[in-house]
Amino acid sequence: MTVARNPLLPGCYPDPTICRVGEDYYLACSTFEYFPGLPVFHSRDLVSWGQIGHVVDRPGQLDLDGIASSGGLYAPTLRHHDGVFWLVCTLVDQGDDARGGNCLMTATDPAGPWSDPVWLDAGGIDPSIFFDDDGRVWMHGTRSAREPAWHDQTEVWVRELDPETRQLVGPEHVIWNGALKDVVWAEGPHLYKVDGTYYLLSAEGGTEFHHAVSVARADSVTGPYVGNKGNPILTHRHLGRGSDVIGVGHADLVQAADGSWWAVLLGMRPYGGYHYNLGRETFLVPVAWEDGWPVIAPGVGRVPAEVEVPFAGPARPGVAQGGASGIVRPDDLRWTLLRRSAAEFASARGDGWDLTMRPTTLSEPGAPAFLGVRQQHKEVDVRATVRAALAAGEDVGLAVRQSENDHVRVFVTGADGEKGRRVVAVHRQGGVETTLGELSLAGGAQERVTLTVSARGQDYSLLAGAADDEPVSVASIVTGHDLQECLSTCNDAEQSPCTKMYRVPSEEALIARLLHDTPGGTDGTVTPDLGQRAEAAVAALPGHLHGARPSAVPSAGHVCFATRRRGMADASARRYRERHVDCGAGARGSRAVRAGTGDPVVRRVRGRMAGRARPQAPHPPALPTAARLTPAACVCRAATRRRHPRPSAVVARWSRRATPDDACARLRALADHLHDGGR
């Protein structure tokens, strides 16, 4: 008896789909805007999985250019029939409704190569494909209800597919609207035939806390379908937000060679509060059949931490299952990029990479020089050793990325005027960038620099060291507890936008309370003359903000190795509507790039990257709150996140590169401004 440990695939591996061919199992996941797209995994026993390739893996196969986070490749379905693997998927561009749609790709080898996409005349998302035993093939998917009875009501349609022409034929049938009245987003449908009866498995409730799995059955593939009286047959929403796994759903069934049934599905593991930085992950659960209905996780009714698989041999987890530490070599299939192939800006050398400087930044939906791996562990050290002769305006470094608008970077920057080579840490939140810390570097321009992102739960430390020096802290980020959210945007598609806002008092009330509680305070009235009381209030401000509760949930993150040239691209020329996906991690919850460097000056950056899942060295001592975030920065950052008239007017008055020496004057000016009503 071998035990499978959940999650089966930790990190940003959402929307799993599975099929069996003989004794072999194959699984694929969503990747959204990342490239290569749609990773394919192989197993002989459902316990040990290894990645064998990607469905979208070559230039020109599918265009992801300009697709922002929350767009890209959604919810694939993988099936095998008569020696051919079939995969259907949706390409979504939330900035252009006319772009993309549902498509079909095929291969005789699941490792590839896969065909170019065949676009289907079908709207909506989450397509699936079913091969009936009479030789007919049926496409089905989800779309917004044509005549909705409630908000966000969807409908599941089914229509025949001609396998020769790869075109939809015959009439369309709407077969499902969800198991419960007022349910939102009945989606991710899959059809099966068991003992002569057709079964429709569907997710509903939205890909977040209320996610659930429901089932219906019919005597004909086109219906009518009758729902299970026990629907939903799996959900964790009744367990509360403190559950170890939340948001379970989007299941796909497979029958093993021994006749047993199993399901793969997605879920999230919150930690350090209601934050699931690792994104939507893939889980395995057993399935039994009782009274003609599937029962998921029988006797337990929830996703277990461990699953016994009777027919499995000794467990040999693949690197994608999170058990490997050490250098991530260039030939490792875990590498992921943004929108285009690495061949356009990177070349392998030994166990590292040479990167070509590019003008595109992480803050725009283009093709930056980005090489990333999914964060798969709550505690992990990721290190990159870089060597580059950088000019002014160029940088190379590490980033923790959630989206264009939310990421953290720690990078080496070229000398600029009197400033020598430096390491800078920057947090971009909601499209606004704040410098968290800087560190001057000794040594020559081409000496090696080691950059580190060290995660301990919700605490992220950014460190750097020249040559063989011991790394020192550049900045620390406490994503779940401070104003800073390293991974702060929801990663779930098809749900309403989250509010990336912390529930903190208005600055008027906060400053008044601080002045009242600090030496020299009087009655707490805000006046222009603050003097020493303002300085004391500034020193106390981080501690007050430290207890703020976040009202947004975090999502999948990618740690990346990237270069860029600043000041050469106008990100403001492009604006895209933003919804929730995994990058991710991503994770929300995996995405691609454009031909040519766009930069007449080609510079090479030498570096290698290593991840350590179980670090042996002790975690660097935590910095005090005031050291993690300077008081002046607290004031300015608080001003950007308050619900107050014209917050942009406040932000415009202060530099985000404030020093502690400026704190008293800045708080005094802020108090004056707010005292006057923000005019």
**Catalytic residue numbers, as ranges:** 15, 187
Backbone angles phi, psi at 186, to 5 degrees: -70, 115
CA dihedral 480→486→491→495, nearest 10 degrees, is 60
Q: Is the dihedral of CA 367, 373, 378, 380 positive or negative?
A: negative
Contact indicator for 3, 309 with CB cutoff of 8 Å: yes
Strand order in the sheet with 293-296: 246-255, 261-268, 281-290, 293-296
Tokens 């419960």 label which residue? 180
Burial grade of 640 (CB within 10 A; 0-12, 13-18, 19 or more) = middle
Closest to 65 (Cα-Cα) out of 280, 344, 355, 346: 344
3-state secondary structure of 511: helix
Which DSSP string corresponds to 423-447?
A: EEEEEEETTEEEEEEEEE--S-TTS
Alpha-carbon distance 31 to 590, whole Å?
4
CA dist 469 and 466 (Å) reads 6
Question: Which neighbouring-strand residues pair with 355?
Answer: 346, 605
Q: For 465-472, which contacts have Cβ atoms below 8 Å and span 24 or more sequence positions? A: 466/441, 466/442, 467/443, 471/620, 472/439
DSSP assignment of 292-326 equals: TEEEESTTT-S--SEEEETT--S----GGGT---E
**70 Cβ contact partners less than 8 Å away, ≥ 6 residues apart:** 32, 94, 403, 493, 578, 579, 580, 581, 588
The encoded tokens of residue 602 equal 């080609």
Neighbours of 672 (CB within 10 A): 14
The residue with tokens 């930044």 is 361
The C-alpha atoms of residue 94 and residue 71 are separated, in whole angstroms, by 6
Strands 37-43, 459-466: pairing kind:
unpaired
